Amino acid sequence: MELSLNSDEAIVKLMLILAHADENYHENEEKVIKDIVKKNNIKISSYQKILEEVKSLKGSYKEECLKALQLIKDENLRQKTLKSLTNLAAADFILHEDEMLLLQLISDEWGMYQHKLIN
């Protein structure tokens, strides 16, 4: 059963997809995500449901990633999200190919590139 998500929950889902892209949910990644959950007042039960959904995904994360991206409409929120995802990718001190591909997919989908994110 697919969950109905708001934009904050969609961000958590994107972060969990990225964190699981290398098939290793590192404790530093978990800490970063749980900090976002707390900061955005997302219920732990919602986090757990999203986590279980991501863990049970079969095959490519691309389709689920694209669905979650559609739920985040605000330009400023998209910029913050992409920055958070980039920080998350570096949280385990290794930038994996699958993580880079997902970040590229997100930046392409939202029309955001590095020169727009650096101020």
Does residue 80 lie in a domain region?
yes
Q: Do 108 and 33 meet the contact criterion of CB atoms below 8 Å apart?
A: no
> Which residue range is the domain that position 93 belongs to?
8-118
Does residue 2 lie in a domain region?
no
Does the pLDDT value for residue 117 go beyond 70?
A: no
Does residue 49 lie in a domain region?
yes
Does residue 3 lie in a domain region?
no
Give 35-76 pLDDT, tens digit per residue.
999 999 999 999 999 999 999 987 678 899 999 999 999 999
Report the predicted TM-score, pTM, of the whole model to 2 decimal places: 0.87
Q: Do 80 and 2 meet the contact criterion of CB atoms below 8 Å apart?
A: no
Does residue 1 lie in a domain region?
no
Tokens of 88: 């998350």
Query: If you average pLDDT over residues 11-38, what whole number do you get?
Result: 93
Query: If you average pLDDT over residues 6-34, what whole number do you get?
Result: 93
Question: What span, in angstroms and rounded, lies between the C-alpha atoms of 100 and 44?
Answer: 28
Confidence of residue 82 (pLDDT cuts 50, 70, 90): very high
Helix (DSSP H) and strand (DSSP E) numbers for the chain = 7, 0
Does residue 40 lie in a domain region?
yes
Number of structural domains the chain divides into:
1
